Amino acid sequence: MKAFQKVVNFFYKAIMYTVSAALAVMIMVAFIEVARRYLLGKSYIWADDLIRYLIVYVGFVGGAAAYRDNNLASLDLVTRLFPQKAQLILELAVNTIVTGAMVFLLCYSVQAVSAPSIKHSVGVGLKIPLWIPYMTLPIGFVIMVLFSAEKYIGLFKRLLKGGSGEECS
């Protein structure tokens, strides 16, 4: 169990560092691009592609980190009124639905990346194969499923303790 937790923590830290770096690169490239466009009337053709690909990376892979931290939108106004045990069961049900959706989206994204229209295409600006930025989707979903498994472990620990406590780590 500790080995699994170490793997999950490693992925989480790697995501946080790479998403931070991606955001920094996006800000720098966007600033340079705006300055070049308005001051010099010129533009790098690759800048828009790079920013677009980094936005997708931050959205999907950073979304996995937000899922782990419970920072995604949730409607808990009503569920907070339920007893602890009912909240826990509802949380298990929601985690199951989310995990099912992530597995479905993972399968669909793998199919999309392996489609000939993506696999054999090259980006206009960066001249890289399009499957590389598209791989962000399956990577993000795999990490979300991994984080979902971690949530199950914490939820079942809480269930065995009688439904009390916020989270186990």
Q: Which amino acid is at 114?
A: S
Give the Cα separation of 54 and 61 in Å (integer).
10
Each residue's pLDDT tens digit, 34-93:
999 999 988 888 999 999 999 999 999 999 999 998 887 776 777 788 888 888 888 899
pTM of the model: 0.83
Name the one residue in this structure whose structure tokens are 């498994």: 149
Question: Contact 129/114 with Cβ under 8 angstroms?
Answer: no
Question: Contact 114/137 with Cβ under 8 angstroms?
Answer: no
Cβ burial, residue 89 (10 Å; 0-12/13-18/19+): middle
Each residue's pLDDT tens digit, 20-37:
999 999 999 999 999 999
